[in-house]
Amino acid sequence: MKIRAAVLREINTPWTVEEIELDGPQAREILVKTLAAGMCHSDEHAHNGSMPVPLPIVGGHEGAGEVIALGEGVTEFEVGDHIACSFIPSCGKCTWCARGMQNLCDLGAQLLEPGMIGGGYRHHAADGSDISALLKLGTFAEHMVLSVDSAIKIDNDIPAGPAALVSCGVTTGYGSAVNRADVTAGDTVVVVGCGGVGMSAVQGAALAGAKNVVAVDPSEFKRESATTFGATHSAVSMEEAMDLVGGITNGVMADSVILTPGELLGEMIAPAQFLTRKGGTIVATAVANAAQMDTQLNLFLFSMMNQQLKGCIFGSAAPRKEIPNLLSMYQAGQLKLDEMITNTYTLDQVNEGYDDMLNNKNIRGVITFD
């Protein structure tokens, strides 16, 4: 079938909206009509080359839609079901899935390789050449072919925009606080970087009962917006936050510092360390340049203060459990998802949406489809 999709052909060039050919679903795959796609910063990492992806590629890894056709052997879904994408697939069979660590599923090792999980390509340019799909999803398109391992069935009455956000950003940020930092009632939590992932970490910390949630971001718009999601204090930088956090904790410092900037840099670890109390936790969630190897860390204090530095992917959550859980919290009015969508865009406005993100005009932009 012919569809329109946003394709990246070379790094640091605009997304091009093209008519391409999409094959039907093969075994253990579904065909989905896309209803909404979140505009996550990770797509910008693909765009600027800091995350190596096979080019050309259909962008987008946050998405929600309706199942319109089934491939051979699909029993988990029916035509008419609504789904949210899961940017980490979960097979349910590997060691990590068996341990309840679906975010570390072995299928994740294939995400930056060309083609689909089941092999081969489903997307083709007008000249017949093959196109990959970002993280095996490609949500910046009118239709998607997905592995059943990359889709989560959701209630049909959940709005598509909020459903798309839990595909990555919300689940990642919320889990960074609740699962990885293990925030408990009365904690002081610092969240560094308040885009979609960071704002979800703010929400997670607040919902977990943190007494103080300090939002750190150079953008005044994001600092002010953070109060809507549970932030009690804000600062322009980690350096500015030092005196603030010291004051509200009587010098004890933060129980946890969660790093969710647009790009994680090695130089951010040391100031995060100095914001963290004895025995406290630093959670590194944001994407760093894949080639970066250098990190600043005071090893003497790290060991003498018994601190922890933890990586985090997909909120250290099992997506098949966490995505329905977060959407049920949204339906109950506990988790703010509508408020995270600052602006919506058409597919043709994909470049405008990313310009707005880079210029700190959005908490999260969402592409909507008719």
Q: What is the mean pLDDT of residues 275-302?
A: 95
Asked if 156 and 45 sit in the same domain, the reply is: yes
Where in the sequence is the domain holding 262, given as residue range(s)? 175-312
CATH code at 7? 3.90.180.10
- Does 93 lie in the same domain as 6? yes
Q: For residue 36, tell me if it sits in a domain.
A: yes
Distances (CA, A) of 274 to 60, 297, 370: 36, 10, 49
In a domain, 322, yes or no: no
Whether 259 maps to a domain, the answer reads yes
Residue 258 pLDDT class (50, 70, 90 cuts): very high
What confidence tens digit (pLDDT) does each residue in 29-41 have?
999 999 999 999 9
pLDDT at 146: 97
Statement: residue 325 has pLDDT above 80: yes
d(C-alpha 67, C-alpha 90), whole Å: 19
Statement to judge: residues 194 and 240 lie in one domain = yes
Same domain, 353 and 254: no
Whether residues 213 and 271 share a domain: the answer is: yes
The domain spanning residue 268 has which CATH number?
3.40.50.720
Share of the chain above pLDDT 70, in %: 100
Confidence of residue 118 (pLDDT cuts 50, 70, 90): confident
**How many structural domains compose the chain?**
2
Q: Given this model, what pLDDT does residue 370 score?
A: 76
Residues 182 and 289 in one domain: yes
What is the overall mean pLDDT for the chain? 96
**Is there a contact between 153 and 79 (Cβ–Cβ < 8 Å)?**
no
Query: For residues 363 and 227, what is the distance between their CA atoms, to the nearest angstrom?
Result: 13
Residue 12 has a pLDDT of 96
Residues 243, 296, single domain; the answer is yes
Q: Are 367 and 162 in contact (CB under 8 A)?
A: no
For residues 131 and 9, what is the distance between their CA atoms, to the nearest angstrom? 9
| Mean per-residue pLDDT, 183-196 | 97
The pLDDT of 322-332, averaged and rounded, is 97
Angle, helix 41-48 to helix 350-358, in steps of 10 degrees? 100
Claim to verify: residue 162 and residue 187 sit in the same structural domain? no
Helices (H), the chain: 41-48, 95-98, 160-165, 169-175, 196-207, 220-226, 238-248, 269-275, 299-304, 319-331, 350-358
User: What is the spatial order of strands in the sheet that 188-192 belongs to?
Assistant: 233-235, 212-216, 188-192, 254-259, 276-284, 308-311
